[in-house]
Amino acid sequence: MNKVFSLILILVSLGILLKACIRQDIPQSFPERIITRELREINYPDNEKNINLNGVDYLQSQAPVGKFGGELIISTIGEGPKTFNPCNTKDATSSAMAGMLYDGLVTTNPVTGDVKPLLAKEFSVNGCDYVINLRKGIKWTDGKPITAEDVMYTYNEIVFKGLGNPSAMDAMKVEGKLPVIQKLDDYTVKFTTPKPFAPFLRQLSYPIVPKHYFKPYSDKGESVFNAFLSPNTPPAEIISSGAFMLKEYVPAQRVVFVRNPDYYKINLNDNKLPYLNKVVYMIVGDTNNEILKFEAKEIDVLALRGSNVARYKIREPESDYVIYNLGPDTGTLFLVINLNNRKDKDGKPYVNPIKHKWFANRDFRASIDWALDRKNMVQNIALGIAEPLFTAESLNSIFLNKYIKGHPCDLNVAEESLKKAGFINREGKLYDADGNRVEFDLYTNAGNLEREAVGVMIKQDLENLGMKVNFKPVEFNSLVNKLTNTHDWDMAVMGLTGSPLEPHDGKNVWTSSGSLHMFNQRPANYKIDDRLDWEKEIDEIFTKGALKLSFDERKPLYDRYQTIIYNQKPIIYLYSPIRITAIRKKFKNVFPTSLGGLIYNLDEIYIDEDKN
Amino acid sequence: MEFLKYTAKRVLQVIPLLIIVSLISFFIIRLSPIDPLAELRLNPSISQETLDKEMKRLNLDKPIYIQYFSWAKSFIKGDLGYTTAGEKVSTKLKERIPNTLLLTMVVIFMTWAAGVPIGILSAVKKETSLDRLLTVISSIGMAIPSFFFAILMLIFAVKTGWFPVGGLTSYNFNEMGFFEKIADISKHLVLPVIVLFTISLSGLQRQMRANMLEVLDSDYVKFARAKGLSEGKVIFKHALRNAVNPMITLLGFEFAGLLSGAALTEYVFQYPGLGRLILEAVMKSDINLVMASLMMGTIMLIAGNLIADILLMITDPRLRGRS
């Protein structure tokens, strides 16, 4: 008995001792200022100049002159690159790595989102004609000049043939036809699109590859080309054009890039960039490991998520890092409603006709929109690191319709519009005009904690209106199957990543024949025209919008499509996460922008240990 | 001669086993609802033609039994096929196998070098305070989940800064001298080895102790003692040789675990071994990669058992007579 007693005593005192060791470093509440703080006002000098020195057309960076040397260590989550072939990348990591190696003709201005020349010296657009002047005297890493032949080769024999990843070719087609490319002289090429096609200029950012290195492989056909430049290629053999060259790839550990000593970008003192000797990508399996690596100072940049933001923010003053708020990102989280009224092969409707009657009613959808408490979701699920969203374009899009202000959550308005639609609330239970209880399924992909939490909140919010929501998280693949194949779902919480620069990229979602037109998916080769009026209008907008070339002409069209979606609410947008990133203070020439991110200008970033 | 016949028989038995294992695993993976193209389907910029092309490349448009036969045919020819990302399965495995072998062999060597003597010690000092202490330690080792222990170790590494956080080599590994390289790898190995060592040591130590106790209790040991042999001779010459037989069977299983035994720990420590590769392959239903690793695991298990049997025949004269 005595023994038992002393054992308990020891355990209790041990427990108290251990408790004393736990230092609380996560604050209970989130200070408002962290959440609302804006992007720091640092202006990136984006007015780069073309300068001809000794017959070479250099691109002169206007950023402050820095010191040469040092290395930047970043992380990439997942399995690492699958290929270094820029024409065959199918995942984000591979395209980032291959993008380090090969420059495109043009690139995006990280501040304004405009198209600016990169490998091209300058370009001019005249209707369907795009004349591109190349830089004279610039070279591949093996010393051979970069000429119009390489551009011709890249487009004619890779892009337009659909070699590698054919999505670039798909995107360039205008009504099924591809542009034509012509060589005017050794340093000038001309593209001609079949019709004026706005997205085309931006598509010229496709990486240009060296003909003399790629051709032997592309000639041997698809399978040889797909295996070409696999991660096992000896780095010394790779001929590239980017600011950094591949030095080493260690599977599942890291990818090391070293500075290209003969890059065509120079600083204000006419010295060749980049400043950094090395850029290292550490391949880490998950975000937890990434955080540990940042804490252990093994990596220099960290994307902060959730509760970590507050913790890092509090420790920022006495730390060696700075935190930047890059604003909302392109990811969107939304609730999509199935408006499908078609029948499957056996004549059975995909959606129960009783439910379809509710879903097809605009007032019903509006009541859902008004009942959802986005602020609450942002505070409790995203821990304040997000922004409520009401538009189909993401918040950092240059085409964002700024007139759509959104609305707060208001149950009265929601109930009002339900009444208008003929629904009756009896003792907290909602019935339609025919006396059917309003009950439907809400799906999302299981395992995604954020979406599951959002689903639970939507369920609660809608139950305030008397709707019965059966929330069913299912395996990701079965959800995709439901959305794209079997169509037997009522509502779903989903997310997609859009392009902040080109709304036309969303055409698969918004046009009525699109393959991701989830809320009213038509089968492939569907002949019957059963488009809703507003679907028709959106179809027209997307056709017209692609044909107009100037931003000012396009903007009102895409504003209109966002207004239609906001009014019709087939997809109800919820929120967009905010990107918050920490980087070590020693790195200079860091000019975070909403469109470019934090380290888009790797060739201008340098290290200065002294001044902070 | 007997010996060769026995081995040949065992090797032949492997073939039906491999067929059954491959059939079961292939169908289970293919019938699971994981669609390797799900991510692509939800990408707004991917066209239907691209999806169809991918279906064709991955053979997903054919019935499942044809998929199996085409896989089996190339497997017999020694061709492991390509991953969904288009890389050769054999090169992917070749990249990772040495790393996993390095880790598991160090661990196995250490556990056996420590576990067997500790087991003997606690059997000989049965029910003394030393034995009790060892029992408590090994119980803790058996009770603690490996991934949890691994995470604790990682936090330890971050807080102290003494060890790197996961991985196998530092980013500037290639510029190091020979001895620096060895030091770098050792530094990275310390934590995962500690985790795996603690966990497998306990089991081995308990096993050895039990075997030894059984033997020490037997008549021939009593006889040897009665004969007046020194305690050392009794233990090492008579008892140990008999107690070690079951351990050899165990060693066979350890051999099977050489390539797959450390998956969880590998994952937590971001160790570039097979475990992490295969886990991710299963998640993405990367059939060729998963099948290759499963087949490899089966072959390793069978080979381990075979080696154990052969070793037993060498050490145990009773078995030689029977076969």
Report how far residue A243's alpha carbon sits from residue A267's, in angstroms, rounded to the nearest whole number.
Answer: 13
Q: How far is Cα B216 from Cα B213, in angstroms, rounded to an integer?
A: 5
Picking from A287, A357, A382, the residue whose alpha carbon sits closest to that of residue A576 is A382
Average of pLDDT values for B265-285? 82
* Tokens representing residue B142 in the block: 């058996």
Per residue in A502-526, pLDDT (tens digit) is: 999 888 899 998 888 999 998 878 8
E strand segments, A338-393: 386-388
Do B159 and B54 lie in one domain? The reply is: no
Enumerate the residues of chain B whose CB falls inside 8 A of the CB of residue A506: 44
CATH number, residue B226: 1.10.3720.10
Report the range of poorest mean pLDDT among A123-137, B102-116, B294-308: B294-308
Are residues A370 and A282 located together in one domain of the fold?
no
For residue A4, is pLDDT > 80?
no
> Chain A residues with CB inside 8 Å of B91's CB?
232
Tell me, yes or no, whether B156 and B113 share the same domain.
yes
pLDDT of A31 over the 50 cut: no
Same domain (yes/no): A237, A384: no
Assess whether A404 and A551 both reside in one domain: yes
In contact, A242 and A102? CB cutoff 8 Å: yes
Within this chain, do residues B60 and B204 fall inside the same structural domain, yes or no?
A: no
A312 and A342 together in one domain: no
Tell whether B232 and B122 lie within a shared domain: yes
What is the predicted ipTM?
0.79
Whether residues B19 and B168 share a domain: the answer is no
What token pair was written down for A353? Answer: 């006709």
A166·B53 Cβ contact <8 A: yes
Establish if A90 touches chain B: CB-CB under 8 angstroms. Answer: yes
pLDDT at A340 over 60: yes
A356 assigned to some structural domain: yes
Position A364 confidence tier, pLDDT thresholds 50, 70, 90: very high
Residues B70 and B103 in one domain: no
**d(C-alpha A274, C-alpha A270), whole Å:** 12
CA A390, CA A576: separation in Å to the nearest integer?
A: 10
Q: Highest mean pLDDT: which of A234-243, A439-448, B52-61?
A: A234-243
Choose the weakest-confidence range: A1-5, A52-56, B6-10: A1-5
Say how far apart CA A488 and CA A124 lie, in whole Å. Answer: 49
Q: Hey, which residues does A440 pair with through a beta bridge?
A: A469
Report the residue of chain A nearest B52, measured CA to CA: A166
> Which of A392-396, A598-602, B27-31, B255-259 is the least confident region?
B255-259
Please name the residues in contact with B56: beta carbons below 8 A apart, sequence gap of 6 or more: none
Given a cut of 60, whether residue B321 has pLDDT beyond it is no
- Residue B172 — pLDDT band, cuts 50, 70, 90? confident
Assess B34–A contact: CB distance below 8 Å, yes or no: yes
B89 within some domain: no
DSSP state of A398: T
Q: Which of A197, A48, A211 is nearest to A117 (CA)?
A: A48
Q: Do the domain assignments include residue B304?
A: no
Q: Is residue B291 part of a domain?
A: no
> Which residues of A fall within a CB distance of 8 Å from B48?
515, 524
| Residue A26 pLDDT level (bands cut at 50, 70, 90) | very low
Helices B274-283, B89-124: axis angle to 10 degrees equals 120
What pLDDT sits at residue B227?
Answer: 84
Does the CB of B238 have a partner CB in chain A at under 8 Å? no
From chain B, pick out residues whose CB is under 8 angstroms from the CB of A74.
none
Q: Which of these, B296, B303, B179, B317, lies nearest to B241 by C-alpha position?
A: B317
**Mean pLDDT across the stretch A43-52?**
86
Average pLDDT of chain A is: 88
CA dihedral in degrees (B68, B74, B80, B85; nearest 10)?
-70
Nearest-angstrom CA–CA distance, A495 and A518:
12
Do A422 and A533 fall within a single domain? yes
- A344 is written with which tokens? 């499957």
For A410-539, strand residue ranges (E) read 424-426, 429-431, 439-445, 468-474, 491-497
Residues of B in contact with A170 (CB under 8 A): 45-47, 49-50
Q: Does residue A128 lie in a domain region? A: yes
Residue B46 falls within a domain, yes or no?
yes
Question: CB-CB: which of B42, B158, B167 is closest to A253?
Answer: B167
Strand A278-284: give its sheet, edge to edge: A71-77, A278-284, A254-259, A244-250
Is residue A327 domain-resident? no
Quick one: pLDDT at residue A466?
Answer: 92
Domain for residue A433, yes or no?
Answer: yes
Residues A345 and A222 in one domain: no
Q: Which of B88, B270, B289 to mutate to test the interface with A (most CBs of A within 10 A)?
A: B270
How many Å apart are CA B82 and CA A551, to the nearest integer?
Answer: 45
**Number of other CB atoms surrounding residue A563 within 10 Å:** 15
Per-residue pLDDT at A135 exceeds 90 = yes
pLDDT given at position A359: 94
Whether the CB-CB separation of B147 and B268 falls below 8 Å is answered with yes
- For residue A246, pLDDT over 70 is answered with yes
Sort out which chain A residues have CB atoms less than 8 A from B34's CB and list them: 475, 477
**CA atoms A97, A103, A109, A111: torsion sign:** positive
What total number of domains does chain B contain? Answer: 2
Scan residues 141-200 of B and list those with Cβ closer than 8 Å to A. Answer: 154-155, 157-158, 161, 164-169, 171, 173-174
pLDDT, one tens digit per residue, over A70-121 is 999 999 988 889 899 999 888 888 999 999 999 999 999 998 889 999 999 9
Q: Are residues A113 and A191 in the same domain?
A: yes
| Domain annotation covers residue B315 | no
pLDDT beyond 90 at B86: no
pLDDT in tens, B205-257: 888 888 888 888 888 888 888 888 888 888 887 888 788 888 888 888 787 77
| Number of separate domains in chain A | 2
d(CA A414, CA A532): 24
**CA A78 to centroid of chain Cα atoms:** 17
Establish if A285 touches chain B: CB-CB under 8 angstroms. Answer: yes
B92 at A interface, C-beta within 8 A: yes
Same domain, B148 and B258: yes
For A154-168, write each residue's pLDDT tens digit. 999 999 998 888 888
SS3 content of chain A, % helix, strand, coil (to 5): 30, 25, 45
Residue range B108-148, pLDDT digits in tens: 899 889 988 898 888 888 888 888 898 888 888 888 888 88
| The pLDDT value given to residue A23 | 46
In three-state secondary structure terms, A243 is: coil
Q: Of residues B259 and A392, which shows the higher confidence score?
A: A392
The model's pTM: 0.83
* B237 and B190 inside one domain: yes
Q: Is a pLDDT exceeding 50 seen at residue A477?
A: yes
Report residue B323's pLDDT band, with 50, 70 and 90 as the boundaries.
very low
Residues contacting residue B206 through CB under 8 Å, at least 6 positions apart: B119, B138, B142
Query: In this complex, is the C-beta atom of A509 within 8 Å of any C-beta atom belonging to chain B?
Result: yes
* Cα angle A595, A597, A600; round to 5: 105
Give bridge partners of residue A129 from the DSSP assignment: A126, A192
**Rounded CA separation A264/A271 (Å):** 10
User: Considering only alpha carbons, which residue of chain B is nearest residue A506?
Assistant: B44
* Closest residue in B to A73 (Cα–Cα): B171
Hey, which of A135-149, A304-318, B290-304 has the most confident mean pLDDT? Answer: A135-149
Residue A361 lies in a domain: yes
Say what the pLDDT of residue A134 is: 95
Same domain, A341 and A303: no
d(CA A528, CA A38) in angstroms, rounded, equals: 49
CB contact (8 A) between residue A292 and residue B168? no
- Residue A327 β-bridge partners: A579
Residue of A nearest to B91 (CA): A232
Under an 8 A CB cutoff, do A508 and B44 touch? yes
Say if residue B106 is in the same domain as residue B156: yes
Flag if B158 and A296 touch (Cβ within 8 Å). Answer: yes
How distant is the Cα of A170 from the closest Cα of chain B, in angstroms? 7
Answer whether residue A191 shows pLDDT above 80: yes
- The verdict on A76 and A225 lying in the same domain is yes
Cis (ω within 30 of 0) for the bond into A274? yes
A475 touches chain B (CB under 8 A): yes
In a domain, A6, yes or no: no
- Dump pLDDT digits (tens) for B173-202: 888 888 989 999 999 999 999 988 888 888
B186 and B145 in a single domain? The answer is yes
Dihedral angle sign, alpha carbons of residues B5, B7, B9, B15: negative
Q: Nearest CA to CA, how far is B275 from chain A (Å)? A: 11
Any B CB within 8 A of A480 CB:
yes
Please give the pLDDT value at position B17: 87
- A230 CA to chain B: closest CA distance, Å? 7
* CATH number of the domain residue A185 falls in: 3.40.190.10
Q: Is residue B103, in this structure, part of any structural domain at all?
A: yes
Distance CA A32, CA B4 (A): 78
Question: Nearest-CA distance from A545 to chain B in Å?
Answer: 17
Do A354 and A284 reside in the same domain of the chain? Answer: no
**Domain span at B60:** 2-77
Which residues are within 8 A (CB) of A134 and not within 5 positions of it... i.e. 6 or more apart?
Answer: A119, A120, A121, A146, A147, A148, A151, A187, A188, A189
Q: What is the nearest CA distance from A417 to chain B, expressed in angstroms? A: 33
Residue A7 is assigned to a structural domain of this protein: no
> By CB neighbour count within 10 A (0-12 exposed, 13-18 middle, 19+ buried), where does B316 fall?
middle
Nearest to B33 among A282, A478, A496 (CB): A478
A180 vs B218: which has the higher pLDDT? A180
Q: How many CB atoms lie within 10 A of CB B315?
A: 14
For residue A387, give both structure tokens. 């922004």
Question: Has residue A30 got a pLDDT over 50?
Answer: no
Q: Which of residues 296-325 of A touch B (CB under 8 A)?
A: 296, 298
Residue of B55, B147, B148, B165 to mutate, interface with A, max A Cβ within 10 Å: B165
Per-residue pLDDT tens over the stretch A553-590: 999 999 999 999 999 999 999 999 998 999 999 999 99
Residues A476-497: what's their mean pLDDT?
A: 87
**Interface contact flag, A480 B35, Cβ < 8 Å:** yes
Closest CA to B164 of A293, A248, A279: A293
List of E strands, A267-373: 278-284, 301-304, 321-328, 331-337
Q: What is the pLDDT of residue B311?
A: 82
Query: Is a pLDDT exceeding 50 seen at residue A27?
Result: no
* Separation between Cα atoms, residue B20 and residue A303, nearest integer Å: 47
Distances (CA, A) of A98 to A2, A10, A73, A206: 70, 60, 17, 11
The three-class DSSP label of residue A239 is coil
**pLDDT for position A1:** 52
B208 vs B247: CA distance, rounded Å: 7
Specify the CATH number for the domain of residue A423.
3.10.105.10
Distance between B237 CA and the closest CA of chain A, angstroms: 42
**Nearest CA of chain A to the CA of B289: how many Å?**
14
B234 and B113 part of one domain: yes
Q: Which residues of A touch B35 (CB under 8 A)?
A: 477, 480-481
Q: Are residues A250 and A355 in the same domain?
A: no
pLDDT of residue A255 exceeding 90, the answer is yes
Domain of residue A548 covers 332-577
Average the pLDDT over A170-196 and give the result: 92
Q: What is the pLDDT of residue B45?
A: 64
* A361 and A457 part of one domain: yes
Provide the pLDDT for residue A43.
Answer: 78
Residue B60 predicted with pLDDT over 90: no
Q: Does B27 touch chain A (CB under 8 A)?
A: no
First to last CA, chain B: 11
**Residue at token pair 């233990």:** B235
| Structure confidence at residue B262 (pLDDT) | 78
Question: pLDDT-derived band of residue A436, with 50, 70 and 90 as boundaries?
Answer: very high
- Kindly state whether residue A218 falls inside one of the protein's structural domains: yes
Q: Minimal CA–CA distance to B192: which of B104, B97, B101?
A: B104
Partner-chain contact B165 A480, CB within 8 Å: no
User: Do both B14 and B54 map to the same domain?
Assistant: yes
